[in-house]
Amino acid sequence: MNANPGDALRLLVVDDDEVDRERLRRALRTMVPTPTVIESNGITAAEQELKRTTFDCVILDYFLPEGPSIEFLPRLRERAPSSAFIVLTGQSDQGIAIALMKAGASDYLSKDAFEPRRIHQAIGYAVALRRAEYKMSAAEARRTQLSACLHRFVTRTPEMVTARSFDALAKAGVAILSDVFDAAEACVVLRAGGSNVEVTRGEGTAVSLASWALGAMEQGDGVAHDGQQFAIKLRGRDDSERGLVAVRTAMQGVEPLLRQLAIMVGICSDNLVLFENAARAIRARDDVMAVVSHDLRAPLNNVRLGASLLRGDSTQGNHAVLDRVERNVTHMARLVDDLVDMVRLESGNLLVTVWPESVDDLMQTAASLVADQARDQQIRLILKKCEDDLMVVADRDRVLQVLSNLLSNAIKFTPAGGVVELAAQLENNRVRFGIRDTGCGIASDEGERVFLRFWQSDPARRRGLGLGLFIAKGVVQAHGGDLWFESQAGVGSQFFFTLPTSATANPTALQTARA
Amino acid sequence: MKVLVVDDDVDTLALLSMLLVRHGFEADVASSVSDGKKALSNVTYDVLIADLHLPDGLGTLLLLPMRPKSLRAAILVTGGGDDAERRLSRDLGFDHCMIKPVEFNYLIARIRSAIGEGEEKP
């Protein structure tokens, strides 16, 4: 089936009757353009011819020495899938005609009406039909192949998206190229920092594919095509060059999918750059935090020790100064603690060491921590008695941190003469703590924003970092509890948080939880 | 009552030992794990106050392989405030772990409770 329409046809005549062959020869001689005709006198000889070369049309007598040609039609068609078959019949029997068509003949001709024009026409139609059928089945095969190709492409792309290094991305890219395009050779070159990561796969010559592709990318618009070789330049979101993908494949029409793959590899390599930058920034931040937490505390320690020493032999006037020094040391230490806790929460490294703790004891200790502040601001601190044996499974220091933060906030935002109340009760197998104040309340439009980092009720009057509620919520969540509030402007606020009781906590879980 | 203070910060050593002396303790100082170990093996101390981060290793090494029998209180001071460090210190023979900046009155109270004394002067 190499011929184009209009070219001379190649015909095979299979007939053992020399008279019939002569009649056919004569009829075909007048065909335009003159066809090439090969003759054979039986099925065996015909099969030899079909093995040797391709024919546009095979014309068979119905009766051949080996038997009726209808019996051999399926076998012959298999041998020559692109050829049309016409059978010459001696008698005009409708039944035989139908059987012939079913067996795969394109047409049949009665020897009784051997008219050249009729023969030319039949051959012409049969060949045209066969060609169309053949084209269609080829197209169908290609469609199936491309659809399988697309399926492999879609199912394998996650390997690239999840790659965490340029090397892994290049390897995944090459594996996918080879698989998707059924490629003899494939290569991925990624620009990583100042150098290239190059991964190739193939039958020993993939390196030459890579060097061809690198050369081809030097000029042109980022797409190169040479015989079975394709190469496409990779680009990041900002259009920067990120390397190339190249493939050698016998498959047709691979370019659209290859372009798609190149876009994906480009974006994946872009993401890797972003990921590495982010990881580097996080490492830098953690390094700074290590310095902050260790190295800022040492001089603070000395200031506090020095103040203690001076207090022993100082005058009344100096006591007030030392009080201020102490207060500022405490404040500075709090800021350092909050920064460290914030980083721990964000990196998921806030550890809580849980143990059964008495709720009553936690509440009394927390109240004692803020007693001075309440007295100074003339706030009445009410501690509601809870059930004696109420226990929570909690990190004592961390829960005291949450309680004193919430109490201290409540006192800070309640005018003199107001009330701050601390209570706890068992609710749905959890202990719910509640801190109620008669303060100014929180504007309803603040909502969950109060739990964001660096939130301040009044940014103009900021004193701390605005991390208190963010950390409190994180600490409670690290225990498996929740923290929330209800507030009415001008009436007051109520903060709640829950902790597991020793009954609800997993008995084997008296260990460490991670935020 | 003899106290050994191990810290690599000269200011901390000076201030802490002055405060301890003022509160009736006898204070020696060391500035590394090896100096501290030497002191602990040569002299009988009642109390050890050690920084966690020392130039030649962690302060927790001071009580390895065994805590001296005479030692009635051992307190670790850390700049990190790491929960893991707190736990580790207790496993390694320290009675208490404190985070800088240390409040001296609280430190004294901790020492007294560890050696089983009340608030009265030693």
Q: Residue A464: what pLDDT?
A: 67
pLDDT band at A293 (very low <50, low <70, confident <90, very high): confident
Which pair of tokens denotes residue A57?
A: 């049309």
Q: Are the CB atoms for A301 and A326 separated by under 8 Å?
A: no
pLDDT band at A104 (very low <50, low <70, confident <90, very high): confident
* Predicted confidence (pLDDT) at residue A248 exceeds the cutoff of 70: yes
Name the nearest CA neighbour of A24 among A88, A77, A69: A88
3-state secondary structure of A379: coil
* Predicted confidence (pLDDT) at residue A510 exceeds the cutoff of 80: no
C-alpha–C-alpha distance, residues A502 and A481, integer Å: 13
Q: Are the CB atoms for A510 and A396 separated by under 8 Å?
A: no
Residue B68 CB-density burial (10 A; 0-12 exposed, 13-18 middle, 19+ buried): middle
Cβ contact (<8 Å) for B81 and A302? no
| Crossing angle between the packed helical segments A166-180 and A116-156, to the nearest 10 degrees | 160
Mean pLDDT over each residue of chain A, to the nearest integer: 86
Interface test with B, best of A289, A296, A297 (most B CBs within 10 A): A297
Average pLDDT over residues B35-44: 94
* Predicted confidence (pLDDT) at residue A147 exceeds the cutoff of 50: yes
Reported in sequence order, the residue ranges of A313-378 that DSSP labels E, i.e. its strands, are 351-353, 355-358
C-alpha–C-alpha distance, residues A48 and A423, integer Å: 102
Instruction: Give the type of residue at A96.
Output: I
User: Which residues does chain A have within 8 Å of residue B101's beta carbon, measured at their own beta carbons?
Assistant: 297, 300-301, 303-305, 329, 333
**What is the SS3 string spanning A256-296?**
HHHHHHHHHHHHHHHHHHHHHHHHHHHHHHHHHHHHHHHHC
Q: Pick the residue with more confidence: A94 or A435?
A: A435
H helix or E strand, kind and range, residue A47: helix A43-52
Strand pairing class (A223-226; A355-358) = unpaired
* Predicted confidence (pLDDT) at residue A123 exceeds the cutoff of 80: yes
* Predicted confidence (pLDDT) at residue B117 exceeds the cutoff of 70: no
Mean pLDDT over each residue of chain B, to the nearest integer: 86
Q: Are the CB atoms for A310 and A318 separated by under 8 Å?
A: yes
pLDDT band at A453 (very low <50, low <70, confident <90, very high): confident
Closest approach of B96 to chain A, Cα-based (Å):
14
Give yes or no for B120 touching A (CB within 8 A).
Answer: no
Q: Which residue has the tokens 């004394």?
A: B117
* Predicted confidence (pLDDT) at residue A58 exceeds the cutoff of 80: yes
Average pLDDT over residues A60-70: 90
A378-437 pLDDT, tens digit per residue, is 999 999 888 768 899 998 888 999 999 999 999 988 999 999 999 999 988 899 999 999
Q: Residue A508: what pLDDT?
A: 43
Which pair of tokens denotes residue A512?
A: 């460490």
Of the candidates B53, B84, B100, which has its C-beta nearest A300's C-beta? B100
Average pLDDT over residues A272-282: 88
* Predicted confidence (pLDDT) at residue A505 exceeds the cutoff of 60: no
Average pLDDT over residues A63-73: 90
Cβ contact (<8 Å) for B83 and A295? no
Q: Residue B84: what pLDDT?
A: 64
Name the nearest CA neighbour of A11 among A62, A49, A66: A49
- Number of A/B CB contacts below 8 angstroms equals 62
Q: What percent of chain A has pLDDT over 70?
A: 93
Name the nearest CA neighbour of A481 among A385, A365, A402: A402
Of the candidates B9, B87, B101, which has its C-beta nearest A353's C-beta? B87
Q: Are the CB atoms for A80 and A106 separated by under 8 Å?
A: no
Q: Residue A459: what pLDDT?
A: 64
Residue A481 CB-density burial (10 A; 0-12 exposed, 13-18 middle, 19+ buried): buried
Which pair of tokens denotes residue A401?
A: 């941190």
Residue A468 CB-density burial (10 A; 0-12 exposed, 13-18 middle, 19+ buried): buried
Q: What share of chain B is helix, strand, coil (3-state, %, to 5)?
A: 40, 25, 35
User: Which residues does chain B have within 8 Å of residue A303's beta carbon, measured at their own beta carbons?
Assistant: 101
* Predicted confidence (pLDDT) at residue A24 exceeds the cutoff of 60: yes
User: Which residues does chain B have within 8 Å of residue A353's beta carbon, measured at their own beta carbons?
Assistant: 83, 86-87
Q: Which backbone phi and psi does B117 adopt, to 5 degrees?
A: -105, 160
C-alpha–C-alpha distance, residues A505 and A499, integer Å: 9
Q: Residue B79: what pLDDT?
A: 79
What residue of A is the nearest CA neighbor of B7? A298
Average pLDDT over residues A53-64: 92
What residue of B is the nearest CA neighbor of A398? B83
Average pLDDT over residues A485-507: 81
Name the nearest CA neighbour of A418 among A494, A492, A496, A495: A492
Q: Residue A2: what pLDDT?
A: 46
User: Which residues does chain B have within 8 Å of residue A295's beta carbon, measured at their own beta carbons?
Assistant: 79
* Predicted confidence (pLDDT) at residue A512 exceeds the cutoff of 60: no
Q: Pick the residue with more confidence: A295 or B2?
A: B2
Give yes or no for B16 touching A (CB within 8 A).
Answer: yes
Quickly list DSSP for A207-223.
HHHHHHHHHHHHSSSSE
- Of A177-186, A191-200, A482-491, the range with the lowest mean pLDDT is A191-200
Of the candidates B9, B53, B81, which has its C-beta nearest A337's C-beta? B81
Closest approach of A410 to chain B, Cα-based (Å):
26
Q: Which residue has the tokens 């003949």?
A: A105
3-state secondary structure of B41: helix
DSSP A377: T
Q: What percent of chain A has pLDDT over 90?
A: 34
Of the candidates A312, A333, A352, which has its C-beta nearest B101's C-beta? A333
Q: Residue B85: what pLDDT?
A: 66
Q: Residue B35: what pLDDT?
A: 95
B55-109 pLDDT, tens digit per residue, is 998 888 999 888 888 899 999 998 765 666 666 766 778 888 888 888 888 899 9
Q: Are the CB atoms for B27 and B83 separated by under 8 Å?
A: no
